[in-house]
Chains A and B, each alone.
Chain A
Amino acid sequence: MAPAGRRTFTAGAAHGYQARLSQFYHNTLRDDLMVLQYTPPAVRARQEDQHRAAQADDAPSESAPNPQRRHKSKMPRPKVPRSTAHNVPFVSKVTVHIRCREALHNKNHLLSALMALQVVTGKRAQLIRAKSDAAAWKLRKGMPIAAKVDLEGDDMFEFLDKLIEVVLPRMKEYHGLRMSAGDGNGSFTLGFDDSVIGLFPEMEMVYDMFPLVTGFSVNIATTAVRNPPGRLLLSGLGLPFLHARKPASEGQML
């Protein structure tokens, strides 16, 4: 196939471009997660019953008069589905969001936010308008107040790659996410202040072009239904987590 004397190089050439983290996930991480998170259904049901029995002592009675009137934090969470070969957790969407308070008195500051998001993610940012009034901050409904970018697919993995390999190591005194991170349903949010946006490689050349430098937040939405599988997934992609040091014991996970 190859001419004599020529070395062939087939690292994904036939497949076209695929982001590094995406390749790693599909080649390696996915199977690892499948094995690490599998519990036989009977055992899982038993574990969940035990867990619910342990919690039922503190929880209020389930027989509320009107289920629709429960506060959203008390609503029952979606059940953990039975694990199959195909429903391993995956990173579905990353949203980069800048909330620009300075836009309240000068709309032009939104341009800094839009431009920064476009520089850092490579995609066009969307303006977000206020959904309600807040007289304390002179906010009226419909005022443009923030900007965001939704990333999926290879763009998303490239952004995460830059964040994990370049930006987080350059931050001062950042050692990882806490083990309490996560909203309980598989979404993780990282918030950054205005010293961090300049650490992106694309921002190095054009930093002086920005009259206003703001902080931003990154929301990573995964298809995990609880925090522990989500944390496992993100740690596999390279996000550091802060662990309390504890001695190795026999009861550790295999």
Chain B
Amino acid sequence: MVVVGGRAAAAAGISARVRPGLLRAAKAAAGAKSSSSGSSGGAGTRRGANQTTADPRYEQMKQILFYQEPRTLPAASEEDVERHLAILRAEKIFKMTASARRRAEREARFAAMEAAYEALAEADPRLYEAACKKESSATFPRQMRVPTETPPTKIWDYLGAQAQQ
């Protein structure tokens, strides 16, 4: 376990990874609460404003956010580390070759598209101009949904346009 924030954490008796700045804020809030409850004739506005500090849910949140002990990985032997690095290298090689293949395919598709545009320019200028004009308010239709493993409960939205009105 790593002990950070030295004196504060040691005083609290917790060995946990805690961010020093936020821990100070938490202590200050707790200190303000205890000091204001002690001194009755103190700064009235500040005490009034901190009424909801007593909310127990905020104490729970502080515990969850700042005082939970971090999860640790199990210790790895030398052979484990070697295996891990070998797997990482194999994955990297796989990804690099797949990526290079996809990149080459994409460049071939792009070149084919450019060649098609050039052929169209020579064949029919009117169609070429129409092909080059792009609508600025173009969007994919709602019917083009992102695929899922299973079909949706509502297969087709028959009243889509009417429902929008």
Contact = CB atoms under 8 A, between A and B. Distances in A.
Interface residues of A, number: 56
Interface of B: 22, 25, 29, 49-50, 52-53, 55, 57-58, 60-62, 64-65, 91, 94, 98, 102-103, 106-107, 109-111, 113-114, 117-118, 121, 129-140, 142, 144-148, 161, 164
Interface of B is mostly: helix
B103 A24 contact: no
A36 B138 contact: yes
B55 A211 contact: yes
B137 A228 contact: yes
Contact of A105 (B49, B113, B132): B49
A253 B62 contact: no
Contacts of A14: 94
B110 A84 contact: yes
Interface stretch (A55-63, A187-195, A197-205, A231-239): A231-239
Given A231-B139, A232-B138, 8 more contacts: A24-B147, A26-B102, A38-B113, A39-B132, A39-B134, A43-B129, A211-B57, A228-B136
Interface of A: 14-16, 20-21, 24, 26, 30-32, 34-40, 43-44, 47, 84-86, 105-109, 111-112, 114-115, 118, 127, 144, 175, 179, 209-211, 228, 231-232, 235-238, 240-243, 245, 251-254
A254 B161 CA distance: 22
